Amino acid sequence: MKLTGTMIAICFLVFVGCDNNTYIRNYYLGDEDVSADSPDEAPDILEQDEVADSADSAEDPDKADSADSSDSAEEPDTADTAEHDEAVDSIESYRECRRAEDCTAFGNNFCIISECVDGYCEYHERDSLCDDGNDLTIHDSCRHGECVGEGVECTRDDHCENNNPCFLHSCEEHVCKFEIVDDGVRCGDGMSCEDAMCVESEYCKEVEFYPENELVNYTRWEDNGCDGVWDMCTTYMFPVTIDENTSSQSHTVDRYCDGTCDENIKKVYEGAGFVVQEISSSCDLMTVNWCTTYAYDVSRRSYFFFNAGCDDDRERDFCEYTFYDEDGVISHLVVDDECDGWYEYCEDRNGSSAVEVECNNCVDIILNEDGSLSQVERPNGTRCGDGMGCADGECAQASNCFEIEYYENGGHHVFQDRGCDGILDNCYEYEETEYHDNGHWTVRQSEDDGCDGNCDRYSVLEYDGFGNHINSVVWTCNHESVLYCNNYNYDSQGRHSFRFHDEECNGEFLDNDYCDFIFYGDNGDYLQVRDHRCDHEYETCRQGNMETGEEYGVECDLCVLFSLDEGNHVRQIPRENGVRCGDGMACIDGNCIQCDTCVEKGELIELENGDFWQQSAYDYGCDDVCNMLVAETYGPDGELIARAERGASAPMEVCMEYLH
């Protein structure tokens, strides 16, 4: 505040009414106190009026001296008083106190007197001189609880210069008029105006409105670094109403402020002014650059979709999901590059801090119609990482992954990834299911090895009433010829225990046929044995665990015979002593050990007279060479009745065919 001769007269007039304070009703602001050190944050319930025309009356000292003290007290403006009373009436309760320091509703406002009366706060307007803290004003005095000053007297504009570039000054009707420059306006190298102060800044801007233009609203200039060089100019059009709930606004972007339009952006708003879509195009509107889509959960943005090219190509697109806690604060953020359901970046939020965390790719994030987000577990077997598959919503080690895509016509597509390495090995396309009177049903499928888009086989699959795959017939894709058949058995627990692969679908065991036995142990362990030609010469064995998905190759035990019992359970039976189990090796009491003689016996045949007859092939040296054939006859009690021998020199395979 600047003191002038005129102010002396003002002081006299103000002090006349110092004892006539205006009473402000008690009111309650709630449990949260307003700091006395932060008057700017106090609730603005008082209207700020201009000081009365006391300066005009004070210019004539005689007139001021002769004025009656009651006349010098100016009647308050009726409208201002009504607004002031309305603001005070909006307070609903009282604020309790023990001392005046507890009454801090107006902070350290000099023009408000705070008192504690009978346990409740009372506030009074002070009617006196004050200092509004602005050196550019004079005649400062309290009015309606606010300190208000008048402009400095002047005759020219330069009389109002205050050396603050964040004020616009002018001399109008012999009084200095001051206007605070908008925040962000450059006031020096690396400096911008903030709250009427010139401070260091990295960003400056200026805005110009066009009140005479019916299409263009305003232009904003941006200076990154506040170095006096405009980096971007944006011109905004007036909003356009689309319907009662939707509007749009377009703006053009000039990235170097060289007068050339570089991009046109249209924003679509819905409801309470939320942006739901943005479209970027060339300035002639002939080419679309990118599109964005937003969704909101209540008033919070929950979903953001950036579509590069505004097309179906997702290579450069990404989706962003935002989750909130009960207090409406961001708790979790998920980013999905290419919007393919595979989440690449996730972070947990704790207040203002963010920590990157591992994404859970065993959960699908669903955007609901109301803008909220839901999380649904993905099917077991869905790949969630290298060698990893989903199991009950968690990512775990797995040897086989797959995904299923359903069609509206009742069919579906299965994508199989053996090893869960991200490379599809087999793709199966299933037609609509056919149901039969016996409770069975049939499904027809096309198989694509390598998932290259070419059909390799066409299969007809039959299932029993329990959903077990019991047989299949595999054709060429043109359905002209049969390739092979498979027959399956299941044990009493519904587990696949046996498969017979019949290459020519004739029911005979030929060279390209094979049998698969699956023996189940404890704790999910299993042993899978493949027997080519189904001759009990086991060539390939694999051991694994159904719970962990782990599987690996093991050496086959050739001294064990695998067979099915009546319940289709695979049983392991020790082979007879003397059965060859390797070069120079024979089975003795279930163990494969070195031996000089190996014996393979044929089927034990019952004769009409009650005796039994059996042929055997002897391999001296266990070198897989048949040296002698023996035929033996046994009585009903197993006693040897007759024996015939014949020398031989042939592969054991030939002798075995003879025995069978």
Q: What is the mean pLDDT of residues 128-155?
A: 80
Residues 6+ apart with CB under 8 A from 568: 489, 490, 491, 492, 497, 498
Residue 93: is its pLDDT beyond 80? no
Residue 62: is its pLDDT beyond 80? no
Q: What percent of the chain has pLDDT over 70?
A: 85
Summarize pLDDT for 196-222 with one digit per residue, the tens. 889 999 999 999 999 999 999 999 999
Q: Is residue 400 part of a domain?
A: no
Domain boundary among 156, 176, 196: 176
User: Do residue 111 and residue 134 come from a single domain?
Assistant: yes
Looking at residue 136, its pLDDT comes to 67
Q: Is residue 528 part of a domain?
A: yes
Assign residue 480 a region (left: φ > 0; alpha: ψ between -120 and 50; beta: otherwise).
alpha
User: Do residue 301 and residue 238 come from a single domain?
Assistant: yes
Model pTM? 0.53
Q: Is residue 446 part of a domain?
A: yes
User: Do residue 211 and residue 348 come from a single domain?
Assistant: yes
Q: Which residue carries 């009111």 as its tokens?
A: 27
Assign residue 584 a region (left: φ > 0; alpha: ψ between -120 and 50; beta: otherwise).
left
Q: What ranges in 139-234 are assigned the alpha helix state H?
A: none
User: Do residue 368 and residue 443 come from a single domain?
Assistant: no
User: Do residue 163 and residue 195 come from a single domain?
Assistant: no
Residue 78: is its pLDDT beyond 60? no
Q: What is the DSSP letter of 596?
A: S
Q: Is residue 473 part of a domain?
A: yes
Summarize pLDDT for 555-604 with one digit per residue, the tens. 999 999 999 998 999 999 998 888 888 888 899 988 999 988 889 888 88
Q: What is the mean pLDDT of residues 302-328?
A: 93
Summarize pLDDT for 458-477 with one digit per residue, the tens. 999 999 988 899 999 999 99
Domain boundary among 332, 362, 377: 377
Residue 318 has phi, psi (to 5 degrees) of -155, 155
Choose among 399, 425, 384: nearest CA to 545: 399
Residue 106: is its pLDDT beyond 70? yes
Using CA atoms, how far apart are residues 46 and 22, in angstroms rounded to an integer? Answer: 13
Using CA atoms, how far apart are residues 538 and 572, in angstroms rounded to an integer? Answer: 13
Q: Is residue 415 part of a domain?
A: no
User: Do residue 607 and residue 484 come from a single domain?
Assistant: no
Choose among 135, 184, 141: nearest CA to 160: 135
Range of the domain at 153: 5-176
User: Do residue 233 and residue 352 come from a single domain?
Assistant: yes
Q: What is the mean pLDDT of residues 374-381?
A: 94
Q: What percent of the chain has pLDDT over 90?
A: 49
Cα dist. 99→103, 109, 120, 465 in Å? 8, 17, 9, 85
Q: Is residue 626 part of a domain?
A: yes
User: Do residue 323 and residue 364 come from a single domain?
Assistant: yes
Using CA atoms, how far apart are residues 160 and 136, in angstroms rounded to an integer? Answer: 8
Looking at residue 258, its pLDDT comes to 93
Query: CA triplet 488, 489, 495: central angle to 5 degrees?
Result: 110
Looking at residue 168, its pLDDT comes to 87
Give the residue with greater pLDDT, 8 vs 103: 103
Summarize pLDDT for 360-369 with one digit per residue, the tens. 999 999 999 9
The answer to whether the beta carbons of residues 430 and 445 sit under 8 Å apart is yes
Burial of residue 388, with CB atoms counted within 10 A of its CB: 0-12 exposed, 13-18 middle, 19 or more buried: buried
Summarize pLDDT for 4-56 with one digit per residue, the tens. 333 322 232 233 333 333 333 333 233 333 333 333 332 332 232 332 333 33
Looking at residue 624, its pLDDT comes to 87
Using CA atoms, how far apart are residues 579 and 602, in angstroms rounded to an integer? Answer: 12
Report for 270-274, 337-341, 651-655: range of highest mean pLDDT: 337-341
User: Do residue 564 and residue 623 come from a single domain?
Assistant: no
Cα dist. 431→424, 438, 442, 444, 610 in Å? 21, 20, 10, 6, 57
User: Do residue 551 and residue 618 come from a single domain?
Assistant: no
Q: Is residue 390 part of a domain?
A: no
User: Do residue 561 and residue 478 come from a single domain?
Assistant: yes
Q: Is residue 391 part of a domain?
A: no
Domain boundary among 543, 574, 605: 574
Summarize pLDDT for 592-642 with one digit per residue, the tens. 999 888 898 888 899 999 999 999 999 898 988 998 999 999 998 889 999
Residue 88: is its pLDDT beyond 60? no
Least confident of 132-136, 314-318, 371-375, 395-399: 132-136
Residues 6+ apart with CB under 8 A from 5: none
Q: What is the mean pLDDT of the chain?
A: 82
